[in-house]
Chains A and B, each alone.
Chain A
Amino acid sequence: MPDIANVTVVCFLASYIVALVGEFLRITTSIRWMRWLVLLFSCAGFIAHTAYLIVRSQQHDLPPLVGSAHDWLLVLSWLCMAYYLIRTLRNPNLALGVFLYPPVILLTLSAYFVSSNPNELVVQSEIRQWILLHAAFLVFGILGVLVSFESSLMYLYLHYRLKHKRPIPGGLKLPNLEKLARVNWWSVLVSVPLLTLGMASGVILLFYLKKTDAAEELKLTDPVILVNGFVWLVMFLFFIRLLVKPGAKSRQVAWMTIWACGFMLLTLLGLQILFGRFHDSMDSFHSGSEQPRSVYALGEGAAG
């Protein structure tokens, strides 16, 4: 029986990369058993991923959501994988992996460039459940954004193929345009309120922590807060537009989603990596105050 404490990020990252390659082979070669191979690697990766998060959580006595920026990103990629597996197990013919694996791999890789030290503020805080709620709002909001981004990509790809009268490759079975437009619509509609709640709860927590002198160095003029606020505003305006113009063309909505969500995701990951280096930034508050790890630390186990 293998010791799950020895599970490293490399284990599930490698599984996800193999599964992604398998998804592409499925499209180009139409090998029937490839889908089952992809599913096998996906499940193996997901189990290893889950084990890693459990071990990390037990080691620091913190839920993975608030443990560190490293854990937080891995939770996000874990949720994406859970979404992928649920959809794929319901319909194994779907080739969602082509669109979902790249962000999953990107999130998992990004986790290396941010701190993995437990956040002392959370460890010591008496309002841990409120911090957890704040993180949960944000992570589920971002998950919604990711789903919306993926469904928009699929929509635009499918729309292009159909409009240009090109058959869809045999192995690349995607949901239909009608369903993709609906998923996109609902994921934006759900994710923006969640992000809003996450932002609002974050601001409230900030004021509360400042009062208790726990985080005196944090300011509302922090560039991370400003950029995140701007991104949220963009998403919120997009959300308002969707509500005001419910009859907007699905393709336009898909393009807007790509721009808005893509901008948000890039900014978010960029901030995590870039500002994670400075001790006095908002990100250091989220991630603890350790310098980011180097790429050669990839093999480091959960115990490590």
Chain B
Amino acid sequence: MKFQVVVCSHEQSDLDLREKIAFPNEETLQNAYRVLGALFPRTEHVILSTCNRVEIYSAQEDAADLPSRDGVLNFLSEFHHLTLTEPMQNIPALVDQEAVQHLFRVVSGLDSMVLGEPQIVNQVKQAYKVAHECSACGPLTHAWFQDAIHVSARVRSETALAEGKVSIASVAVGEFGKNIFESFTDKLVLVIGAGEMAEEALTYLTDEGVKKLHIVNRSLEKAESLAVKFGGEPKPYDQLEELLARADIIISATGADRPIVTAEMFAKTRTQNKQKNVFILDLGAPRDFEASISDLDENVFLFDIDDLEQTCQRNRDLRRKEIVQGEKIVEDQTQKFMHALYHRATGPVVKRLMEQWSEVRDQELERLFSRLDTLEETQQQEITYAIDRILKKILHPPLQTLKDQAREGTPHTLMDALRRLFRLSD
């Protein structure tokens, strides 16, 4: 059994690369699974695409059938019509135990930009759900992701990682927004998008006392539902330009595959109110606002997800103790998962061996008891018991060796030797 993950996250790659290879919506993901299925038909895949990471998880019973790192990178470049430039070629791949451990860290929020953020759990669940709907995953990824959710629950319950500011919106608004505005209660907030990130941002903003709230989404229904929940006003998408001009705080988290607000469009909204401060938090990946908007005038403060990196790093440094505790749990769970996995790999060989020798034992006992028909039942039981013990003692050393070897990985050579020595059929 082989596990692999190709990792393009905020730790290795900047947003410029991540947004190019992102799978921002379900439609893109479905297309991606179709292409992956055609390229690597025997492999299970799950694609995780969030604002912080684009990762392709793969699992395969037979190591030979697992796509190589280069294979996955070629898929990414061809799917997104990109040339394999240097930053893309540097995207790393982790295999087996490292890959398993990586997913466990990701889902526990240990690898998140905002340490311990809970949103990642839903994002991983959602990624698995889409993979399942597209028939891209299977029993290996199922076990892997199931365990990951369990690990996440353990880390969150046994450490204080999930306490404090644990959403991207809260960190961004807390670090930058509060340095611009004295209070949010009199500010007009515009939220673009109605997904999970937008909801997280709304939760934080309403907690901060925001009263004037406009929600814009391509689907007005979703905007309405969020507006009801948070007491805002849903607005049709075609009013976006007018709303941009009026807003003091703009938070955007859409699944658009290109910027929805260009510099030219935003410049028009600033002609009448250049002296007004506007704080824009672009949580989209790909970004929803063109980066050059930041240079339009001195009172436009535009931040994207990567601008939070330094702040989040400071937060990590302050919570080192919690991280160590969380990492220990992840390490422990990874070991357990790998052992269970390797034992699962050796299981069929052990079972076949036991069955084969049990058949031999039964045949020989039957032959013996038919010859010695004068034996009493208690005597027959004693003989059966003695042969059982001999059988177990004979099989114990090879099975124990197999078990020991399984602790270090699937013992393919040993299993092959056992199959050949004892002529075990599949």
Residues of A within 8 A of B (CB): 158-159, 161-163, 165-168, 170, 174, 176-179, 182, 247-251
CB distance from A171 to the nearest CB of B (A): 11
Minimum distance in angstroms from B270 CB to a CB of chain A: 12
Q: Do the beta carbons of A251 and B298 come within 8 Å of each other?
A: yes
| A162-B179, A165-B303, A176-B178 known, 13 other contacts, Cβ within 8 Å | A163-B294, A167-B314, A174-B179, A176-B180, A177-B180, A177-B181, A178-B180, A179-B182, A249-B274, A249-B275, A250-B277, A251-B298, A251-B299
B179 and A249 contact, CB distance less than 8 A = no
Using A162-B179, A168-B179, A170-B314 as known contacts, say yes or no to A178 and B277 having CB atoms under 8 A apart: yes
What is the CA–CA distance of A174 and B311 in the complex, to the nearest angstrom?
16
B56 to chain A, nearest CB (A): 30
Chain B 288-302 interface 0/1 with A at a Cβ cutoff of 8 Å (1 = within): 000000100011010
21 A-B residue contacts at CB 8 Å?
A: A159-B298, A162-B180, A163-B294, A163-B298, A163-B301, A167-B175, A167-B311, A168-B179, A174-B179, A176-B178, A176-B179, A176-B180, A177-B181, A177-B277, A178-B181, A182-B182, A249-B275, A249-B298, A249-B299, A251-B298, A251-B299
What residues of B have a CB within 8 angstroms of the CB of A167 in the complex?
Answer: 175, 310-311, 314
- Chain B: interface residue total (CB-CB under 8 A): 19
Q: How far is the CA of A49 from the CA of B301 in the complex (A)?
A: 43
Interfacial residues of chain B within 142-194, with CB under 8 A of chain A in the complex: 175-176, 178-182
In the complex, chain B residues whose CB is within 8 Å of the CB of A179: 182
A275 to B177, CA, bound (A): 48
Closest to A252 in B: B298
Q: Is the CB of B180 within 8 A of A165?
A: no
CA distance in complex: A179, B314 (Å): 26
- In the A-B complex, the 6 residue pairs with the closest CB atoms: A165-B307, A178-B182, A167-B311, A167-B310, A247-B275, A179-B182
CB distance from B292 to the nearest CB of A (A): 14
With a cutoff of 8 Å between Cβ atoms, the chain A residues found around residue B299 in the complex are: 249-251
Output the residue of B176, B179, B298, B301 with the most chain A CB within 10 A.
B179
Chain A residues, Cβ within 8 Å of B182? 176, 178-179, 182
Q: B residues within 8 A CB of A182?
A: 182
A252 to B179, CA, bound (A): 18
> CB-CB < 8 A to A163: which residues of B?
294, 298, 301
* Alpha-carbon gap, A165 to B281, bound state (A): 12
Q: How far is the CA of A168 from the CA of B180 in the complex (A)?
A: 12
A165 to B180, CA, bound (A): 12
Q: A165-B303, A165-B307, A248-B275 are in contact. Are A158 and B298 (CB under 8 A)?
A: no
Which residue of chain B is the closest to A178 with respect to CB atoms?
Answer: B182
Q: Which residues of A contact B179 (CB under 8 A)?
A: 158, 161-162, 168, 174, 176-177
Instruction: Please report the C-alpha to C-alpha distance between residue A177 and residue B301 in the assembled complex, in whole angstroms.
Output: 12
Query: Is there an interface contact between A176 and B275, defined as CB atoms closer than 8 Å?
Result: no
- Which A residues touch B181, using CB under 8 A? 176-178
The chain A residue sitting closest to B309, CB to CB, is A167
A76 to chain B, nearest CB (A): 29
Alpha-carbon separation in the docked complex, A168 to B175 (Å): 8
Residue of A163, A165, A248, A250 with most partner-chain B CB within 10 A: A165
Can you name the residue of chain B whose Cβ is closest to the Cβ of A247?
Answer: B275
In the complex, what's the smallest C-beta–C-beta distance from A157 to chain B, in angstroms?
A: 11
Kindly report which residue of chain A lies nearest to residue B177, judged by CB atoms: A176
Chain A proximity of B114: nearest CB distance (Å):
14
Q: What is the distance, in angstroms, from A30's C-beta to the closest C-beta of chain B?
A: 9
Q: In the bound complex, what is the Cα–Cα distance between A159 and B303 (angstroms)?
A: 14
- A182 vs B182: C-alpha distance when bound (angstroms): 10
Which residues of the other chain, A, contact B301 by a CB distance below 8 angstroms? 162-163
Contact of A162 among B176, B275, B310, B311 (CB under 8 A): B176
Q: Which residues of B are found within 8 Å of A251, using beta-carbon distances?
A: 298-299
CB distance from B82 to the nearest CB of A (A): 26
Cα–Cα, bound, A176→B187 (Å): 15
Q: Per-position contact with A for B180-223: 1 when CB-CB < 8 Å, else 0? A: 11100000000000000000000000000000000000000000
- Residues in A with CB closer than 8 Å to B311 are 167
Taking the nearest CB of chain A, how far is it from the CB of B294, in angstroms?
Answer: 8
B275 and A250 form a contact (CB under 8 A)? yes
Distance in angstroms between the alpha carbons of A234 and B299 in the assembled complex: 27
Return B291 CB to nearest CB of chain A, in Å. 11
CB contacts (< 8 Å) of B275 on chain A: these are 247-250
Q: Name the residue among A247, A249, A251 with the largest chain B CB count within 10 angstroms.
A: A249
Task: Give bound CA distance, A178 to B277, whole Å.
Answer: 9
A247 to B273, CA, bound (A): 9
Closest to B298 in A: A251
How distant is the Cα of A167 from the Cα of B181 in the complex, in angstroms?
16
* In the bound complex, CA of A252 to CA of B283 (Å): 30
Q: Cβ of B274: which chain A residues have Cβ within 8 Å of it?
A: 249
Q: Which residues of A contact B314 (CB under 8 A)?
A: 167, 170
- Enumerate chain B residues within 8 angstroms of A248, measured Cβ to Cβ: 275
CA A248 to CA B299, docked complex, whole Å = 12
Smallest CB gap from B312: residue in A: A167
Bitwise, B340-381 to A at CB < 8 A (1) or not (0) is 000000000000000000000000000000000000000000
> Within the complex, what minimum Cβ distance (angstroms) separates B183 from chain A?
8
Collect the chain B residues with CB atoms within 8 Å of residue A249's CB.
Answer: 274-275, 298-299
Bound CA span A178–B301, Å: 13
A166, B277: Cβ atoms closer than 8 Å: no
Question: A168 to chain B: which residues have CB within 8 Å?
Answer: 175, 179
Q: Could you tell me the distance between the alpha carbons of A186 and B179 in the complex, rounded to whole angstroms?
A: 20
Q: How far is the CB of A204 from chain B (nearest CB, A)?
A: 40
Q: How close is A155's CB to chain B, nearest CB, in angstroms?
A: 11
Q: A176: which B residues are within 8 A, CB to CB?
A: 178-182
Residue in A closest to B299 when the chains form the complex, CB atoms: A249
Alpha-carbon distance A108/B275, docked complex (angstroms) = 38
Specify the chain B residue showing the minimal Cβ separation from A175.
B182
